[in-house]
């Protein structure tokens, strides 16, 4: 399509949108365009044709219908925390950042969360009512996106993934129809969005299960780099028998001077005396540089990595699933820490066990229900170091390659990049065929691509029960 035709199409679509929407329509010539198009990852510099700043489900409906009628590509931005920038297509961006309401039903112990609300928004609202919800690990991330794709978080051991607490969604389909999906209405669609992400429509609100709030015991234990192998081997042993009440993250973080350190970030959702005993054991895995374990709230826990997750910094991410922390995988992680190309880069491990592993894999689209570790390889660098961007991206790819021989097939769809086809093809395990069928039925034009889905051709199903014969010992 020529530049003239694209410009004419955009003008016609923008006029129609402005006539129908309550919210603003922002074009490249508008003063706040450059501000609106910025997302968390400063490496993403995409310039969409227009933004629909939606304030209601009717605004979303209008935006989808206009895009459909004019043949304009669309994408959806909730929290704007997708490192790959998929929320910024080259056409129309449906921006939900003004739709951040959270309504709590204290009696039913549920929350209705609007499509643009963040995990921190939802956690604060639930806590004010004496309740808690299952979130991801970072408060700034959009609650809808993290939930639809999975949602590893501080309470996952006890209550499952965020998606396991999803009760229903309201969404706008590719042709503008507004539908509900839950256990009784459009149950196939409800199955698909629990793990298949926002690939079927725009989720304008969702209803989630809440839990009685309790004071958590949580914090951070930081060890010197010289303790790396000892701590990670001890961590593998400690988490192998972890009770549901204990959910941990671990990995490699930069110290203030940029040198690497090893950390464990435990969260205990149970009786505090038992939690303190377990925390003491984790501290004895090495010689801590710093220990900060204290009673706290979920909203506070969601802020613990704010100093490392900086808006505007440049990022590239790889992800792997490990069935266990073997000697070889620990060595690969340590090699990653030793070879970081940027002092801001880090490796994060999230241990998934407990409630989430007791849900049959066919119950939702999420493809991995056995105990495992999610590894995030996060390459991060300042904008003034962008001349070395290829080197920084290659570091994450290299660590991913080193982990591959001991990894499970696939990877966490919420964090796979658009080029990670081989992992995406295997990420949904035995659910691939059903997921593809539902995608064809509800989004036949492939209008939505929130996270990578398997390609159309059938692929060999992964054996997620396979465990490499590489044990610690």
Q: Please give the average per-residue pLDDT across 141-161, as a whole number.
A: 97
Flag whether pLDDT at 466 surpasses 50. no
pLDDT value of position 462: 55
pLDDT band for 454, please (50, 70, 90 cuts): confident
Q: Check pLDDT > 80 for residue 10.
A: no
Which of these CATH numbers, 3.40.47.10, 1.10.287.540, 3.30.43.10, 1.10.10.60, describes 3-95? 3.30.43.10
Looking at domain 102-212, its CATH architecture is: 2-Layer Sandwich (3.30)
Question: Would you state the pLDDT for residue 331?
Answer: 98
Q: pLDDT tens digits for 218-233?
A: 999 999 999 999 999 9
Tens digit of each residue's pLDDT (9 = 90 or more) over 292-321: 999 999 999 998 887 778 889 999 999 999
Predicted pLDDT of residue 460:
46
State residue 467's pLDDT score: 38
Query: pLDDT of 333-356, one tens digit each?
Result: 999 999 999 999 999 999 999 999
112 pLDDT more than 60: yes
Q: Could you tell me the residue ranges of all domains in the chain?
A: 3-95, 102-212, 216-415
**Confidence tier at 471 by pLDDT (50, 70, 90):** very low
pLDDT of 3 above 50: no
Predicted pLDDT of residue 459: 45
Confidence of residue 9 (pLDDT cuts 50, 70, 90): low
Q: pLDDT value at position 385?
A: 83
408 pLDDT above the threshold of 60? yes
SS (H, E, C) the chain: CCHHHHHHHHHHHHHHHHHHCCCCEECCCCCCHHHHCCCCCCCCCCCCCEEEECCCHHHHHHHHHHHHHHCCCEEEECCCCCCCCCCCCCCEEEECCCCCCEEEECCCCEEEEECCCEHHHHHHHHHHCCEECCCCCCCCCEHHHHHHHCCCCCCHHHHCCHHHHEEEEEEECCCCCEEEEECCCCHHHHHHHHHHCCCCCEEEEEEEECEECCCEEEEEEEEEHHHHHHHHHHHHHHHHCCCCCEEEEEEEEECCCCCEEEEEEEEECCCHHHHHHHHHHHHCCCCCCEEEEEEECHHHHCCCCCCCCCCCCEEEEEEEEECCCCHHHHHHHHHHHHCCCCCCCEEEEEEECHHHHHCCHHHCCCCCCCCEEEEEEEEEECHHHHHHHHHHHHHHHHHHHHHHHHCCCCCCHHHCCCCCHHHHHHCCHHHHHHHHHHHHHHCCCCCCCCCCCCCCCCCCCCCCCCCCCCCCC
Check residue 304 and give its pLDDT: 84
Question: What local confidence, expressed as pLDDT, does residue 32 receive?
Answer: 95
**Chain segment 51-89, per-residue pLDDT in tens:** 999 999 999 999 999 999 999 999 999 998 889 999 999
**Lowest mean per-residue pLDDT among 182-191, 248-257, 445-454:** 445-454
User: Is residue 458's pLDDT more than 60?
Assistant: no
**What pLDDT is stored for residue 418 in this prediction?**
84
The yes-or-no answer to whether 3-95 and 216-415 have a common fold is no
Amino acid 11: pLDDT: 85
What mean pLDDT, rounded, does the chain reach? Answer: 93
In this prediction, residues 265-292 reach a mean pLDDT of 97
Classify domain 216-415 at the CATH class level: alpha beta
Q: Compute the average pLDDT of residues 375-397.
A: 94
Residue 198's pLDDT band, with cuts at 50, 70 and 90, is very high
Residue 306: what pLDDT? 78
pLDDT band at 180 (very low <50, low <70, confident <90, very high): very high
């Amino acid at each position: 399509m020529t530049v003239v035709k694209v410009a004419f199409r955009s003008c016609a679509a923008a006029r129609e949108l402005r006539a129908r929407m309550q919210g603003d329509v922002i074009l490249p010539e508008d003063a706040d365009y450059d501000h609106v198009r910025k997302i968390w990852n400063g490496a993403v510099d995409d310039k969409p044709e227009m933004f629909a700043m939606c304030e209601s489900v009717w605004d979303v409906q209008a935006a989808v219908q206009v895009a459909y009628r004019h043949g304009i590509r669309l994408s959806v931005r909730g929290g704007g925390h997708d490192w790959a920038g998929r929320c910024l297509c080259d056409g129309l961006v449906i921006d939900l950042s003004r739709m951040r309401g959270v309504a709590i039903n204290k009696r039913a112990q549920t929350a209705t969360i609007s499509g643009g609300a963040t995990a921190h928004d939802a956690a604060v609202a639930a806590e004010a009512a004496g309740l808690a919800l299952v979130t991801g690990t970072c408060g700034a991330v959009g609650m809808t996106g993290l939930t639809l794709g999975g949602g590893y978080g501080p309470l996952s051991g006890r209550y499952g993934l965020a998606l396991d607490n999803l009760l229903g969604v309201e969404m706008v389909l590719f042709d503008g129809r507004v539908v509900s999906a839950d256990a009784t209405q459009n149950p196939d669609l409800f199955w698909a969005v629990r793990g298949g992400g926002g690939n079927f429509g725009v989720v304008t609100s969702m209803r989630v299960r809440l839990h009685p709030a309790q004071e958590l015991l949580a914090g951070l234990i930081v060890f010197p780099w010289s303790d790396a192998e000892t701590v990670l081997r001890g961590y593998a042993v400690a988490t192998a028998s972890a009770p549901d009440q204990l959910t941990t993250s671990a990995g490699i973080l930069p110290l203030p001077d940029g040198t690497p350190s090893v950390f464990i970030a435990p969260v205990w959702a149970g009786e505090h005396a038992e939690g303190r005993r377990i925390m003491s054991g984790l501290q004895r895995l090495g010689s801590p540089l710093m220990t900060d374990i204290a009673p706290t709230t979920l909203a506070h826990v969601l802020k613990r990595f704010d100093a490392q997750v900086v808006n505007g910094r440049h990022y590239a991410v790889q992800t792997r699933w490990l069935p266990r922390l073997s000697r070889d995988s620990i060595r690969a992680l340590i090699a990653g820490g030793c070879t970081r190309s940027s002092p801001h880069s880090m490796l994060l491990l999230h241990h998934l066990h407990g409630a989430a592993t007791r849900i049959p894999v066919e119950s939702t689209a999420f493809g991995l229900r056995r105990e495992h570790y999610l590894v995030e390889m996060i390459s991060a660098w300042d904008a003034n170091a962008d001349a070395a961007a290829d080197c920084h991206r290659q570091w994450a790819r290299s660590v991913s390659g080193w982990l591959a021989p001991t990894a499970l097939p696939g990877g966490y769809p919420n964090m796979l990049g658009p080029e990670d086809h081989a992992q995406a093809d295997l990420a949904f395990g035995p659910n691939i065929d059903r997921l593809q069928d539902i995608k064809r039925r509800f989004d036949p034009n492939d209008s939505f691509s929130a996270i990578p889905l398997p390609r159309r051709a059938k692929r060999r199903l992964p054996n997620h029960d396979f465990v490499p014969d590489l044990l610690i010992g």
